[in-house]
Structure 1
């Protein structure tokens, strides 16, 4: 008689099972959504929290890092929420999501004529089949956990042909030591043009956890500029996922700036569904102390004549850890694909670490694909040149680091957003200088 193997679960996994059992009747959604939640949590339990033997999560062992999980955020927060402005001076509409719940009274929707903005809970209650469509093929425990426990978020629909001049920010705010599971749905119609922002913030010193999944589609010939700023509280855990499908002749540019959280992972999945599409994917990580920041990327060239450019830069100080895992897939029918990926790390401390894992999976023969990765310290010769011109060391290092990051930030191609993000990087460096003083 063969005994069934016993699955050993961590305390965090046991707590999640108990919380799902207690919350399943309170979570919003139609019967079809409820059934999808059950299936998603079963998938999560089968996979368990990602660990070092889970290849896409090799350098971010959540099973070891997450000892406990805070209580779930299910209901709306109080009315006295104050939302900090992470990007002062940048004109944009703001859609505020507090602990997973879209708060229209805290939002600014001016300048969005023709754009549909709805709380995601409305789509869950209607059983809208678009929820979960873009992530159906993603076998990822964190995404499955989000599907099981999502409480809300926002759904944005930009109609075909629309030209939205004002940028649209989705401001994710966590108020206390809770675990929020947020789902956003973004649909950009054919021939439309839009600029989108994600911002993520929460209180310092609070061990909250934020798991945000955004599903997006960009129609044929659409032009989408998308920027993400992860500036979570210093004791938090941030898990962010973007899954986007781009159509024929679509232009999609995306930038991630990671500066917050104790443990963070931002993963992006891009799938080409139409020919002659172009994607530019950029990232800048800035961490210090004992922060751990992981950026993961998967670009799936499923059709011919697609182009992608990926450039990610990371700056690590103190005993921090930076991670980049990037994969370009070229399917058998995706001839004439042009994909190029570069990752560069700058270590400001002897105790900092940078882990890089670039991958190419090519199943077509008429392609141009390449990847590269470098890491090192500040060039002492260049630094000496600046010091010899009378520039103080802290200022000289700031100039060099800012220049190092600028190529990735400016790759987005949006001057206003790029300037705002560069100002954030300069503030981070200024704070580093004050700590060293």
Structure 2
């Protein structure tokens, strides 16, 4: 029987040509890049017949592949950062990236907070830095096509090491500038050593009307008894196809909190691959998504309890207006040795229009017998009785809906302890609601 050869799409062909042109000049391990791209080319862009991408068909959504962005000039980088607005009001150590490239001149390396070290990734890849051994800490991610593409094309980013109690938040600011579509493949490695603590902010933004294609990866390795608070904001422009991945490996007796807030991009997919790798670890991974018009937002996560006596909580809230589409796919994995696991996952969605769509797919994969695990998913409209109660007291319907939406989403952000960051996220919700009204 003759072999069946799948036809390559224009995007897949363009990516292959881009890799052939760039592989000789990209820094770092040539073999690891070649292996990643080989894994990608074997199957191409994922489509709806691939279970993990059943609701987000990238082969159909990515009709063309944008060229990878070059290094911006100093003036271009300065202008892009001056126009950046996401989480701008929060006092933090700024670690900026423009068009996928680390803006080294914007960081004063001589005045970094005590306990913080930053190494530009391009330099580390070129020199074979010791910390590179801690890249790709989660095996689940290495088989993912979006992650493979980032591995094949990553050219810049930073490695960030935290060794103490860092009070000032660290803000990873990703800005894509220009009206011509470009692609990026930035990689950031965050090492939070034993007993250290940090608040890590992450914002992604680009102008409206440009079909940018960012594919960014943040990898975190949190040591024993560490404490990490991570807040991510997707404020991409209305034409962007934004792909992002968070990999996480957490040691024993550590505490980790993360929230991903989505308000931008035409199409977005945020993936989380987490391993709780030591006993008595607590992790909370939240999501808050607000989409309208024809937006498509996908939140996908895999949490593996690789050690006994760990606790995880996953709470995702989604608000959908117009003909937008929301996706939640979550899986908790408990191996046979991970006894006394406590894992609970919940996805809740509110549809503000008849044309909206929500796809929920929570899963439990349990091989241990002494566990407490649960998952749930809800999807519905705002309570008409509560709306009537508010309107009967003189509140217009749109304002009443806004109050109820804020209350619905509030549960996802109530764990953000930093007052300035919490207020900034509330402002994002209020801005989305004002635009809707």
* Match in the other structure for 2:128: 127
Does the 8 Å contact 1:211/1:239 carry over to 2? yes
Does the 8 Å contact 1:215/1:243 carry over to 2? yes
* Match in the other structure for 1:46: 42
Residue 215 of structure 1, aligned match among 213, 219, 240: 219
TM-score (norm 2): 0.95
Residue 48 of structure 1 and its aligned partner are, at CA, apart by: 1.1
Alignment map for 1:11-160 (pairs within 5 Å): 11-29=10-28, 33-80=29-76, 81-83=79-81, 84-107=84-107, 112-128=113-129, 129-130=132-133, 132-138=135-141, 139-159=143-163
- Secondary structure (helix, strand or coil) at the match of 1:354 reads strand
Q: Which runs of 5+ in 1 are unaligned?
A: none
- Secondary structure (helix, strand or coil) at the match of 2:354 reads coil
Residue 3 of structure 1 and its aligned partner are, at CA, apart by: 3.5
- Secondary structure (helix, strand or coil) at the match of 1:82 reads helix
* Match in the other structure for 1:170: 172
- 2:99 and 2:71 map into 1 onto residues whose CA distance is 8
Does the 8 Å contact 1:95/1:108 carry over to 2? no
* Match in the other structure for 1:200: 204
- 1:236 and 1:131 map into 2 onto residues whose CA distance is 31
**Higher mean C-alpha displacement, 382-391 vs 135-144:** 135-144
Deviations 1:255-286 (A, max 9, x none): 00001100100011110110000001111000
Alignment map for 1:203-352 (pairs within 5 Å): 203-352=207-356
- Secondary structure (helix, strand or coil) at the match of 2:75 reads coil
- Secondary structure (helix, strand or coil) at the match of 2:156 reads coil
Residue 77 of structure 1 and its aligned partner are, at CA, apart by: 4.3
Change (3 A) 1:35 1:21: same
Q: Which runs of 5+ in 2 are unaligned?
A: none
TM-score (norm 1): 0.95
Residue 154 of structure 1 and its aligned partner are, at CA, apart by: 1.4
Residue 54 of structure 1 and its aligned partner are, at CA, apart by: 1.1
Aligned residues: 427
Change (3 A) 1:367 1:248: same
Alignment map for 1:170-189 (pairs within 5 Å): 170-176=172-178, 177-189=181-193
User: Does 2:405 align with 1:407?
Assistant: no
RMSD over aligned Cα atoms = 1.4
